[in-house]
Structure 1
Amino acid sequence: MAFVTVDAPVRVTSSPSGIDARVVGDQPVAARSRGRVVTGHVLLALLAAVSVFPVYWMFATAFRRPEDALSASLIPWSPTLENFKYVWETIPMASMLANTFGMAAVMAVSQLLVAVLAAYAFARWNFFGKQLLFLLFVGSWLVPFQVTMIPNYLLISQMGLLNTVAGVVIPNLCGAFGVLLLRQHMEAFPHELLDASVMDGQSSWATLWKVVLPNMKPALAALGIMLFISAWNEYLWPSLVLRQSDALVQIGIRSFMGAEGNNWGAVMAASGLACLPIFLIYLFLQRYVVDAFVRSGLK
Structure 2
Amino acid sequence: MTTDTSRDHSPSGVSSGSGALRKVAVHGVMIFLSLVSIFPIYWMIVTSLRPENEIFSTTLWPSDPTLENYVFVLTRVPMLQMLANTTIVAAATAALQVVTGLFAAYALVRWRMRLAGVVHGLIALSWLVPFQVTMIPNYVLASRLGLLDTLTGLIVPNAAHAFAILLLYHGMRSFPVEILEAARIDGAKSWKILWQIITPNMGAPIASLSIIAFISAWNEYFWPLLLSRKPENSVVQIGLQMFMTQEGNLWGPLMAAAALASLPILVIYLLLQRHVIESFMKSGIR
TM range (shorter): 0.7 to 0.9
**For residues 170 and 142 of structure 1, do their structure 2 counterparts lie closer, same or farther at Cα, with a shift above 3 Å needed?**
same
User: How far did residue 32 of structure 1 move?
Assistant: 5.0
Q: Which residue of the other structure, out of 131, 135, 154, is the alignment partner of 2:121? A: 135
Q: How does 1:128-277 map to 2 (within 5 A)?
A: 128-247=114-233, 248-277=235-264
Aligned mates of 1:37, 1:180 — CA distance in 2: 39
Aligned mates of 1:104, 1:34 — CA distance in 2: 46
Residues 266-293 of structure 1: CA distance to partner in whole angstroms, max 9, x if unpaired? 0110111111111222233332222223
Q: Which residue of the other structure, out of 94, 99, 102, is the alignment partner of 1:113? A: 99
The TM-score normalised by the length of structure 1 is 0.83
Provide structure 1 residue ranges, at least 5 long, that are not aligned to the other structure.
1-15
**For residues 196 and 67 of structure 1, do their structure 2 counterparts lie closer, same or farther at Cα, with a shift above 3 Å needed?**
farther
**For residues 53 and 206 of structure 1, do their structure 2 counterparts lie closer, same or farther at Cα, with a shift above 3 Å needed?**
same
- Give the letter aligned to residue 142 of structure 1: L
Please name the residue that 1:67 is paired with. Answer: 53
Please name the residue that 1:6 is paired with. Answer: none
Aligned mates of 2:102, 2:21 — CA distance in 1: 44
Residues 55-109 of structure 1: CA distance to partner in whole angstroms, max 9, x if unpaired? 2211111111122122222223332211111111212222111111111111111
Aligned mates of 2:83, 2:278 — CA distance in 1: 29
CA contact (8 A) 1:110 1:174 kept: yes
User: How far did residue 36 of structure 1 move?
Assistant: 4.2
Please name the residue that 1:3 is paired with. Answer: none
Residues 88-138 of structure 1: CA distance to partner in whole angstroms, max 9, x if unpaired? 121222211111111111111111111112122333344311111111111
The worse-fitting range, judged by mean Cα deviation, of 130-139 and 146-155 is: 146-155
CA contact (8 A) 2:78 2:231 kept: no
- Give the letter aligned to residue 119 of structure 1: A
**For residues 244 and 294 of structure 1, do their structure 2 counterparts lie closer, same or farther at Cα, with a shift above 3 Å needed?**
same
**For residues 104 and 68 of structure 1, do their structure 2 counterparts lie closer, same or farther at Cα, with a shift above 3 Å needed?**
same
- Give the letter aligned to residue 287 of structure 1: R
**For residues 36 and 203 of structure 1, do their structure 2 counterparts lie closer, same or farther at Cα, with a shift above 3 Å needed?**
farther
CA contact (8 A) 2:92 2:155 kept: yes
Aligned mates of 2:149, 2:281 — CA distance in 1: 42
The worse-fitting range, judged by mean Cα deviation, of 273-282 and 34-43 is: 34-43
Aligned mates of 2:205, 2:212 — CA distance in 1: 11
**For residues 76 and 92 of structure 1, do their structure 2 counterparts lie closer, same or farther at Cα, with a shift above 3 Å needed?**
same
CA contact (8 A) 1:62 1:266 kept: yes
User: How far did residue 238 of structure 1 move?
Assistant: 0.5
User: How far did residue 222 of structure 1 move?
Assistant: 2.1
| Aligned sequence identity (%) | 46
Confirm or deny that 1:90 pairs with 2:73. Answer: no
CA contact (8 A) 1:83 1:265 kept: yes
User: How far did residue 35 of structure 1 move?
Assistant: 4.4
Structure having greater relative contact order (Cα 8 Å, sep ≥ 6): 2
CA contact (8 A) 1:59 1:269 kept: yes
CA contact (8 A) 1:92 1:246 kept: yes
Q: How many residues are matched?
A: 275
